[in-house]
Amino acid sequence: MPSRSSRVPARTKPVRVSLADGVYDIILSRLIDGEVSAGAPLNIDELARDLAVSQTPIREALARLESTGLVTRAALRGYRVAPLFTDQELADLMDARAVVEPATARFAAGRTTPEFLAELAATITELEAFAESGRDTEVHRYWESDAHFHNLIAEQSENRFLQTAYESLGGHVQRFRLFGALGATDAAFAAREHRDILEALQRGDAQAAQQRMTEHIESVKSRAHHDREAIDTH
């Protein structure tokens, strides 16, 4: 019988999207919903039986998740959900974001389009809706909207070297979002900060966009540090 720590809760077999994509979406949703804890093993045989598929789409899905930083693989030990960040790793990640993302915002300010600005505004509306709902069970909405906002700005910078630097951080940022205990309160702060960035971009003010992004990353770092301290004291 599989151990309690390694067993992934049952869910319906994926519908035919592509099979590999369906399996990926199911495992990802379980991670986002907190059904599998940080550091827990992911057994390929168990997942294949659980989802009534062969091992091939399971392996493909886990390899994709490994590339995002949400899953790790070790020789002879197999796959595991990525562990929580250490305090130093979290500080280093935020420092790296504070270098890269303000630069993407500065370049994006000179390359805005109505479509780009409208899409950014839509992500903020989604963040605000989640913050108002107060339902931490829907935290994946925050996670997805926040990621989309930052991805859009990186793409609009149209600087492939900055985009490469941003993408190299992407999996780690996803891991931070997933295991950072971020909820409706953080979404409310993030929505206001994102709107400040959007307003600077709407004006085409590169310096202000860079500054607002710097302030946003520093605020996220501060809130994450505060949340870690609160968790450690309980």
Beta carbons within 10 angstroms of residue 17's beta carbon: 11
Please say whether the beta carbons of 154 and 97 come within 8 A: no
- Give dist(CA 25, CA 107) in Å, integer: 33
26 closest CA partner among 54, 71, 61, 2: 61
- Segment 174-186 shows an average pLDDT of 66
Question: How many degrees, rounded to 5, is the angle at CA 81 between CA 78 and CA 86?
Answer: 115
pLDDT of 206: 98
Number of H helices, E strands in the chain: 9, 3
Burial of 88 (0-12, 13-18, 19+ CB in 10 A): exposed
pLDDT at 5: 42
Residue 195 has a pLDDT of 98
Domains and CATH numbers, the chain: 19-81 (1.10.10.10), 87-232 (1.20.120.530)
Q: How confident is the model at residue 130 (pLDDT cuts 50, 70, 90)?
A: confident
The model scores a pTM over 0.85: no
Contact, 6 vs 43, CB < 8 A? yes
What mean pLDDT, rounded, does the chain reach? 85
Q: In this predicted model, which residue has the larger pLDDT, 185 or 176?
A: 176
Which residues is 41 bridged to in the sheet?
Answer: 80
For residue 80, what are the β-bridge partners? 41, 72
C-alpha span between 55 and 4 (Å, rounded): 21
Higher pLDDT, 76 or 42: 42
State both tokens at 25: 């979406």
**Which of 105-114, 127-136, 176-185, 190-199 is predicted least confidently?**
176-185
The answer to whether residue 85 scores a pLDDT higher than 90 is no
How many Å apart are CA 182 and CA 165, to the nearest integer? Answer: 24
- Structure confidence by residue, pLDDT tens digits, 25-74: 899 878 877 788 888 999 999 999 999 999 999 999 999 888 877 899 98
